[in-house]
Chains A and B, each alone.
Chain A
């Protein structure tokens, strides 16, 4: 995958930068250009906002059959997490045993390596979550 594809998502993936609609105060992650609630009225009114990175597990799975990029991590935990600001995202939960993970568990974000483009390729980074 070409470098710009990862580079342009860096602010959100490194620092959990989402957007807030100045019209209705709803927060979005990943960033949006148009607020699905305010539509036209929101154009130009979505501002960057840094999320705290704390929240709880809405649902989860332990992946036993994963893509090549992740084969060394199998089995690994994926979860949908609701952050305290109300937004939801999909992320890995690390430093947690498969039998420890539960719906409702408090988690916080951590900065980790996500993958790499082959042995000599670019390494890309982003968020994963650990127990809070």
Chain B
């Protein structure tokens, strides 16, 4: 297995990008990453793209060759592959790109993630999001994606005494971070009171507990670490990847307050990278809902089970605290173009480890982690990154 580095990153603005099409945002992020990597484009051996549901959102399947074509690579005839794992599509695309380079099959690989969610109305977009849950045994009875997470939140409050305010504090923190990120969908701080008084979506979760619907794309260029210095002055090593799975439906998991997929993915990634949770300086975790971040910091081993709410309240996960979590603003404030999320998380970690995160820079960041979840936890993907 060869060591793998990220030599280029690119990202579009996240939000309601109505003036650009799916292929345009895919190209924008891809070209930015290629330019950032200092490659000409001729070196590219393969393209991977994470995307959850272009078929439903824009009536277009077969999107990997579409993006490859419009990025100018059609006559290079390179393999272009789409990876789907609901909202973990981007993270999983990165894993597959990493494995392709690590194994020696490909040398220079571009891996992107893209989603165009606002070409459909918001009711329809939420129905499409719910397709990452079990349609036959959850959604058909009226369970929404927010509703399923609300049931996790309710049980977490019941078992561990997590408070409504602690949930809200996740959103307040991530908006605070997002305000420092020029690419974020929401660049405004919010108050605890705003979160608590916001309209209900699925009790106990209100509108500010939910990540938004977004358009956006992010992209990375990978190559073997050995040749990375040829292209980049500051390559970032991908130390490991780990993926875990679980029952599809939330109700089939005996402990719905724990995502076993996350535990397994983290255990694999940490073991391979020879790291412990305390070694992580900065982490981008999957906060599709406020409760998701609380579960994530527990299941990744940053805090004890049941103490995620308290840790958030104590500021343990704020910028430049014990562990800086979601410095980009997370899905909540940075935005949630589902298939792009896993790649955007890696972009943020690369910026942090390069020392290019500007106002939201974590001091002395050397080891970073990304955590991307599909559905209510049937897939989880964790990557660990390191300065070289």
| Contact between B140 and A59, CB atoms less than 8 A apart | no
- CB neighbours (8 Å) of A91 from chain B are 141
Question: Total interface residues on A, using CB and 8 Å?
Answer: 32
For residue A103, CB closer than 8 A to chain B, the reply is: yes
Query: Which of the residues B147, B152, B250 comes within 8 Å of A63, measured between beta carbons?
Result: B147
A59 and B249 contacting across the interface, CB-CB below 8 Å = no
Known A67-B127, A76-B142: A61·B147 in contact at CB below 8 Å: yes
What separation, in Å, do the CA atoms of A37 and B201 have in the docked complex?
Answer: 37
Question: Which A residues are in CB contact (< 8 Å) with B138?
Answer: 90
C-alpha spacing A128/B204, complex, angstroms: 22
B141 touches A78 (CB 8 A): yes
- Whether B143 contacts A90 by the Cβ 8 Å rule is yes
Question: Given A65-B126, A78-B143: A59 and B199 within 8 A (CB)?
Answer: no
Residues of A within 8 A of B123 (CB): 67-68
Is there a chain B Cβ closer than 8 Å to A126's Cβ?
A: yes
Q: Does B191 reach chain A (CB closer than 8 Å)?
A: no
Question: Is A66 an interface residue when CB atoms closer than 8 A count as contact?
Answer: yes
Docked pose: A47 CA to B127 CA in angstroms: 34
B150-169 vs A, Cβ < 8 Å mask (1 yes, 0 no):
11101100100000000000
Residue of B nearest to A9 (CB): B136
User: What A residues does B137 contact at CB under 8 A?
Assistant: 30, 89-90
The residue that A61 contacts in the complex, of B141, B203, B256, with Cβ under 8 A, is B203
- Minimum C-beta distance from B163 to chain A (A): 16
The answer for the CA separation of A69 and B146 in the assembled complex, in Å, is 16
Known contacts A90-B138, A90-B143: A63-B251 contact under CB 8 Å: no
Q: Is A42 an interface residue (CB 8 A)?
A: no
A73 interface residue per 8 A CB criterion: yes
Residues of B within 8 A of A92 (CB): 141-142
Interface centre among A60, A64, A79, A98 (most CB of B within 10 A): A64
Using Cβ atoms and an 8 Å threshold, which residues of chain A touch B276?
none
Indicate if B130 sits at the interface (CB-CB under 8 A).
yes
Contact status B141-A59, CB under 8 Å = no
Given A80-B151, A80-B250, A91-B141, verify A62-B256 contact (CB < 8 Å). Answer: no
User: Which DSSP category, helix, strand, loop or mixed, fits chain A's interface?
Assistant: strand
Contact status of A62 and B202, CB under 8 A, knowing A68-B127, A89-B251: yes
Instruction: Give the size range of B's interface with the partner.
Output: 20 to 34
Question: Which residue in chain A gives the minimum CB-CB distance to B253?
Answer: A88
Q: State whether A67 and B256 are in contact (beta carbons under 8 Å apart), knowing that A60-B151, A61-B150 are contacts in the complex.
A: no
The B-contacting residues of A in range 30-71, CB under 8 angstroms, are 30, 58-70
Q: Which residues of B contact A63 (CB under 8 A)?
A: 142, 144, 146-147, 150, 201-202
Contact with A along B67-97 (1 / 0, CB 8 A): 0000000000000000000000000000000
State whether the Cβ of B252 lies closer than 8 Å to any Cβ in chain A: yes
CB neighbours (8 Å) of B152 from chain A are 59
Residues of A with C-beta under 8 A to B127: 67-68
What residues of chain B lie closer than 8 Å to A122, measured between beta carbons? none
**What A residues does B388 contact at CB under 8 A?**
none
* A114 close to B (CB within 8 Å): yes
A103 & B158 in contact (Cβ 8 Å cutoff): yes
In the complex the two chains form, is A114's CB within 8 Å of B251's CB?
A: no
How far is A104 from B18 in the complex, measured between Cα atoms in Å? Answer: 47
> Which of A9, A58, A98 contacts B155, CB < 8 Å?
A58
CB-based nearest A residue for B155: A59
Residues of B within 8 A of A114 (CB): 140-141
> Do B126 and A59 have beta carbons less than 8 Å apart?
no
Q: In the assembly, what is the distance between CA of A37 and CA of B81, in Å?
A: 35
Task: Tell which of A60, A76, A90 touches B250, judged by Cβ atoms closer than 8 Å.
Answer: A90
Cβ proximity bits B184-225 to A, threshold 8 Å, 1 near / 0 not: 000000000000000111111100000000000000000000
A9, A60, A128: the one contacting B154 at CB < 8 Å is A60
Question: Which 8 A-B pairs rank lowest in CB-CB distance, beginning with the nearest?
Answer: A61-B150, A59-B155, A88-B251, A59-B151, A64-B200, A62-B203, A61-B202, A80-B251
Can you identify 6 A-B contacts, CB atoms within 8 angstroms? A59-B155, A66-B147, A67-B123, A78-B202, A80-B250, A90-B137
Chain B positions near chain A (C-beta within 8 angstroms):
123, 126-127, 130, 136-144, 146-148, 150-152, 154-155, 158, 199-205, 249-252, 256
With A73-B142, A90-B251, A103-B158 known, 7 other A-B pairs at CB within 8 A are: A30-B137, A58-B256, A60-B151, A61-B202, A67-B123, A67-B130, A126-B140
